[in-house]
Structure formats: C-alpha cells, structure tokens
Amino acid sequence: MIPALVDHLPALQVVTPLLCAPLCVLVRPGRAAHAIASFGAIASLAIAARLLAEVLDHGVLSYALGGWAAPWGIEYRIDGLGAFTLVIVTTVAAVVFPLSRASVEAEVEPARRHLFYAALMLSLAGMAGIAVTGDLFNLFVFLEIASLAAYVLVAFGRGGPAKLAALRYLVAGTVGATFVLIGIGLLYAATGSLNMADVSARLPQVQQSTALKSAFAFLVIGIAIKMALFPLHAWLPNAYARAPSVVGAFLAGSSTKVAVYALIRVVFGVFGADYAFARLSVDWVLLPCAAAGVIAGGVVALFQSDVKRMFAWSSVAQVAYMVLGAALASAAGLSAALVHMMNHALMKAAIFLALGGIVYRTGAVSIDALAGIGRRMPLTLAGLVVASLGLVGVPFTAGFVSKWTLLRAALQGDAWLLATVIVAGSLLTLLYTGRIVEAACLRSPPPGSVSTGTAEAPPGVLAALWLLAGASVFLGLDTSLTVGVAERVAGALLESAAGRWR
C-alpha cells in the first residue's frame, strides 16, 4: 500500500464504505451496485486486517481526525479490542456481500437493489465507526448510522410484517440510542469531556457523583437494548426473521457483536472494571439477565416452527453468552466473550446464508417445508448442520472453543450455577438443531413438492456458506488465531482499567 495512505487507515476504515453507499445509489443497476458493495466490503476487510496487525505489533493507534488534537478534536483510537471487532464485522461483510447476489435477487425487487446495497454499505460504515472512534458522542452518531441503515434493511423484507418488524426495531432501537445519548450527556456534565480516554482519566475526581452513576445506568441499559440482551430483546426475533436472508446473515453476524463491543468499551474502557463491578456491582444485574437469556432464548427457539425465527431466538441466547463472559469481569471471562463474538459471527452468518439458499429453492423456511430437504440440497443442509453443531459447541468446531473457555472462566470464578446454565444452553441448542436434522433427513418431502432431483443453493451462496462453516471448523482446530488474540486484548483492557481508582 502507498505509505501516505497507511497513516490514514483508521479514517479510511469508515470512509471507504461511507463513500461506496452514494456510489451504489448513483450507478443504479443492481449488478454494478453489487460490484461496488463487494469492493467496499473486501477493502474494509483488508484495512481491518492491516489495522489489527499494526495494533498487535505497535500497540494503540491514535488518529486525530482533521488534525485536531485529542481532547478537543475527535480522536479515532484503535486498540486490540477495536481492531478485533473490526475484523469480525468486515469478515462477515466481505464473505456475505460478494457471494450472495443470487439470494438478494430472489428476495429484493429489481428497482430497489441499488438502494439495498447502499443501505448495506451505510450499516457497515456505522459499525466500523463504532469500533474505531475514541469519542463518546461520535459513538452515538455511528450507532445511529448503523441502526438507521439496519431498520431500512429489515424493511426490505417482503410485505407488511417486515415493515412492522422494522418499525418495532426502530422504536426499540431509538429508545436505546436515546438512553445512550442521555448517558453521554450526564457523563459530559460530570467530567466536562467527551474523549473516552480523557473522561476515563477524569473520573476518579468525580467518583462520588450521582450523575456519574446515572450516566453508567443509562449507557448500560441503552446498549443492552441495542444488543438485545434479555429481557430487552423483544425487537430481535421478528426483525431477523422478516428481513431478507442476506440481511439476517449480515446483521446476526455483526450488529449485536458491535453492541457487545460498545458495552465492553464503556464498562471496561471508560468506567473501568473497579468502578463498574466493585463499586456499582453491575454483575448482579448483567449475570442474571444473561443466564436467563441463555435459557429463555434456547427454550423459545425450540418451539418455533419458522426456522429463521428459531435461529433469531438462538441469537438472543448467544448474545447472552457473550455478556455472561464479559460480566464475569476476569481476563478469562472477557477473552471467552471475545472468542465467542468471533465464532458466533461466523456460524450465525453461515446459518442465515443456508436458510437464504433454502428460501431461494423452496420459498419457505418452516420446519414442515424443510421435510426431505436433505435429499434435495445435501450440501446446503450439511453446511447448515456444521454451523449449527458449532453453535451447540461440539468438539472440533469453533463453538466448542468458545463454550469451553467460557465454562473454564465460570469455574475459575466458582460460579457453578452459571456453569450449569452454560451447559444447559448448549443442550437446548442441540435439541433444536436435532429438530431441523430430523425434518430434513428423516421425513419424506411433502407430496407434490416442486422437484425431486437435487437443487442446491445458488453456487455463490453455497461457497459463502462453506467458507464460513469451514472457517468455524478451522478456528475450532487452530485456536491461536482467536484465543491468542482475545487473551492479549482482554489482558490489555483489564490492565489499563486497574489501578486508576486507587
């Protein structure tokens, strides 16, 4: 890369997808817009990978936007946590966008496809912005860019139900974002700064302030709504189930992860573990919510007849796993949460792509419509099953690595009840995966079904599905990539947070 550009990578991470969005609108034909969106996603992944390498080698990157120095200007600050999140989000985008054109063409009207790709790019730009920014108000703005684009993407689903799901998502998301805004206002009132590092340095002087406590509460609840933490999850199942499959794959893979990132950033990065856990005991709120989410999400998923909604409910449970890890407030728990962020992003994106492939062929994803699909779409189904087994946490898949590190973290903290919840959640996942396999392989196809020969998902979708499923198996065998990086990131986070309050 050109040396001059390398210095500006933090800005380019946001600017590239942000510029691709209007380009998609300008070129109009769906195919050209698809090419631009694919370029944007792959370029973003390249930038994110470079940033992660840079951060791991040289430590935190600070970039003064427009040349205005830190506490006054907006600072883009990329540490291991941010770069790791960037890699997760852009990997999902770079695999899903280029390869899933057939699925988009099957589910989105021709006249609106260029707008669809533009919304995908805006959402990607917003999520990248959340991960790079070191400024609290900037975080709110990017949160809203990503969310507004996500509401639009959900509304691209067919018919009235998709619009209603999008509106409910919008109402919940806006309430969440406004809570975040209130929290940022209170934090500014208490400290007089918006720069995360600056706020964090000023906090010890005002630690008795009530404004600070309410700021913390508003921020945590606002972000919890955005990430669909039980019991604030009501918007998620319908939004993911009604959206086009590609949107389901992208959002399920990335948007909740970015919210988990924001929670970790605010709790550990800004307030610090000592304030959040030792003084305010936030774990007494987060741990029960997360444990209830793991069980409730799994149980409700088990009784769904719409498979997309089944996996949307499963997302509620998986997000709860990540919060559970983070709320343990130990290096082991935090790195388990990070590993699960990466693994779940790959597996859930793969699952929604597989469902997209099934919708492409059969037009439906109810359990009944899946009957006999194992014979007609063996490769698609196999990909779905591999990814689902990862979700369960079967050995030799990425899911096993994250569940195992999470379990170890819980046992290290002598949290036997939580360990039981983690295992019970896995068993629930096994049960609903079993329902799908049973319907697809053992039941005979409904009489008068469309075709009897094999009719796989479109080649691109199939390739993307197997790329993600393969990656999830690879990360299950070679853990140095995820666990190694996550442990370093978690250690750095806790280290920077420790000692500030004493």
Return residues touching other proteins (CB under 8 A): 137, 140-141, 144, 148, 151-152, 155, 157-164, 166-167, 170-171, 174-175, 177-178, 181-182, 185, 188-189, 242, 305-306, 364-366
305-308 contacts at long range (C-beta below 8 A, 24 or more positions apart): 305/366, 305/367, 305/368, 306/241, 306/365, 306/366, 306/367, 307/355, 307/358, 307/365, 307/366, 307/367, 307/370, 307/436, 308/240, 308/241, 308/245, 308/248, 308/352, 308/355, 308/365
Nearest distance from residue 358's CB to other proteins, in Å?
13
As a whole number of angstroms, the distance between CA 128 and CA 428 comes to 33
The secondary structure element, H or E, covering residue 166 is: helix 159-191
Is residue 103 within 8 Å of 245, Cβ to Cβ? Answer: yes
Nearest distance from residue 107's CB to other proteins, in Å?
9
Alpha-helix runs per DSSP H in 363-458: 373-376, 378-392, 398-412, 416-437
Q: Choose among 466, 268, 490, 198: nearest CA to 354.
A: 466
Nearest distance from residue 95's CB to other proteins, in Å?
25
Enumerate residues 6+ apart whose C-beta is below 8 A from 145. 122, 123, 125, 126, 129
Please say which residue, 79 or 135, places its beta carbon nearer to other proteins: 135
Please say which residue, 268 or 432, places its beta carbon nearer to other proteins: 432
Neighbours of 89 (CB within 10 A): 29
Please say which residue, 152 or 338, places its beta carbon nearer to other proteins: 152
| CA dihedral for 487, 56, 268, 250, sign (positive or negative) | negative
Please say which residue, 155 or 328, places its beta carbon nearer to other proteins: 155
Please say which residue, 365 or 422, places its beta carbon nearer to other proteins: 365
Please say which residue, 159 or 499, places its beta carbon nearer to other proteins: 159
Nearest distance from residue 320's CB to other proteins, in Å?
23
Q: How far is CA 246 from the centre of its chain?
A: 14
As a whole number of angstroms, the distance between CA 366 and CA 216 comes to 42
Q: Which residue has the tokens 């959900």?
A: 154
Nearest distance from residue 261's CB to other proteins, in Å?
20
Please say which residue, 6 or 171, places its beta carbon nearer to other proteins: 171
Please say which residue, 171 or 477, places its beta carbon nearer to other proteins: 171
Backbone angles phi, psi at 451, to 5 degrees: -145, 165
Nearest distance from residue 310's CB to other proteins, in Å?
12
Is residue 5 within 8 Å of 101, Cβ to Cβ? Answer: no
Nearest distance from residue 191's CB to other proteins, in Å?
13
Q: Which residue has the tokens 């991470």?
A: 13
* Burial of 34 from C-beta contacts in 10 A (0-12 / 13-18 / 19+): buried
Please say which residue, 193 or 335, places its beta carbon nearer to other proteins: 193
According to DSSP, the residues that pair with 78 across neighbouring strands are: 61
Nearest distance from residue 312's CB to other proteins, in Å?
13
Nearest distance from residue 247's CB to other proteins, in Å?
14
